[in-house]
Amino acid sequence: MGLLLTTTFFGGMWLQVQSLVKNHPVSPGLNHPPIVTITTPENHSNFQPGQQVLYSIEVVDFEDGDSRYGEILPNEVFMEVWFFSSEQEMVNSESQTNSRVDTMGLQIIKESGCFNCHNSKTAFVGPPFYKIAKKYLQHDIDKLVSSVLEGSSENWTNAIMPAQVYLTEPEARQAVQWILANGGNDNSTIYPGINGFFPTRPEATNGVYVLKASYTDHGVEENQQSRLSGNDRVVVYAK
Ligand code: HEC
């Protein structure tokens, strides 16, 4: 019945709804999956190398609301931009991973407000994930997990990271593991927000940029187990 309502409500989006439900590990219960759409840029648009790309994302969720009416919290919507130096490189890379589904560590980071203080590449309240990944090695993981769980200051600046008390130890470990393994990747950047822009590289004259937008809803009555994610993907070229 729940699913039937969704399909009526979203008209032609039956296939998308179905696959979202199937891909998600938790039982959807009565919750409806969010529909995430990258409205700009259009799939397969072309840009000049070095040009900025403006993007915007729309989220419609049966329970949480509609981003066009300000009902979706912008800092819970994410755009992940991947750079590839050629189309072949993109195909090779994406055939090796299921790039549609976030790893658990990234999911935890997106859902725990880490991006309220951290950016991928640029300093904000806290250091960028990029610099954390470059500064520390795998064997520092215990220290970093304690920093997250107990809070931290003076390792970077005198700004304070409050103890992230709502995370369990294994969750904090998965989040830190994701930062150490992926934060230092030059070719991927994650931006919070429903719109923004990213630069293309002036020197890359055959560049392919994969844009992946995502939103995880609040489930039914804030029941964590019933939360569902939606995503959309667009590819643009700068050549
Ligand atoms: C309220 C702002 C804020 C939030 C929210 C926040 N951080 Fe931080 N984070 C900081 C600041 C500030 C620092 C630098 C602290 C220092 O200098 O020791 C930091 C540092 C870190 C470090 C490096 C710690 C070290 O010992 O060098 C890691 C790893 C980290 N944050 C991960 C996370 C994760 C994961 C989350 C989400 C669960 C998160 N942060 C949420 C502000 C924040």
On the question of pLDDT at 72 being above 50, the answer is yes
Residue 65, both tokens: 């609301």
Is residue 176 within 6 Å of ligand 1 at its C-beta? yes
Q: What is the mean pLDDT of residues 49-77?
A: 97
Which region among 138-147, 201-210, 224-233 has the lowest average model confidence (pLDDT)?
A: 224-233
- Report the distance separating Cα 40 and Cα 143, nearest Å: 41
Task: Give Cα 99 to chain centroid, integer Å.
Answer: 11
Atom of ligand 1 nearest to the CA of 164: 38
The 10s digit of each residue's pLDDT in 98-140 is 655 678 999 999 999 999 999 999 999 999 999 999 999 999 9
Q: State if residue 225 touches ligand 1 by the CB under 6 angstroms criterion.
A: no
Domain locations in the chain?
Answer: 2-238
Ligand 1 neighbourhood includes 179 CB (under 6 angstroms): yes
Judged by phi (left if over 0) then psi (alpha if -120 to 50, else beta), residue 65 lies in left
Token pair recorded at residue 204: 């890359």
- Whether 162 has a pLDDT exceeding 60, the answer reads yes
Q: Determine the pLDDT at residue 221.
A: 77
Please give the pLDDT value at position 151: 97
Q: CB neighbours (10 Å) of residue 40?
A: 14
Reply yes or no on whether the pLDDT at 11 is more than 90: no
pTM of the model: 0.86
Residue whose CA is closest, atom 41 of ligand 1?
Answer: 114
What CATH number should be reported for the domain whose range is 2-238?
1.10.760.10
Ligand 1 test: best mutation among 161, 167, 169, most atoms within 8 Å of CB? Answer: 161
How many angstroms from the chain centroid is the CA of residue 74? 12
Instruction: Answer whether 187's CB lies under 8 Å from 82's CB.
Output: yes
Going by alpha carbons, the residue nearest to atom 38 of ligand 1 is 114
- Whole-number percent of the chain with pLDDT over 90: 79
Q: Nearest-CA neighbor of 69 among 57, 77, 60, 78?
A: 60
Query: How confident is residue 210, by pLDDT bands cut at 50, 70 and 90?
Result: very high
In 3D space, the residue among 129, 127, 113, 201 whose CA is nearest the CA of residue 164 turns out to be 113
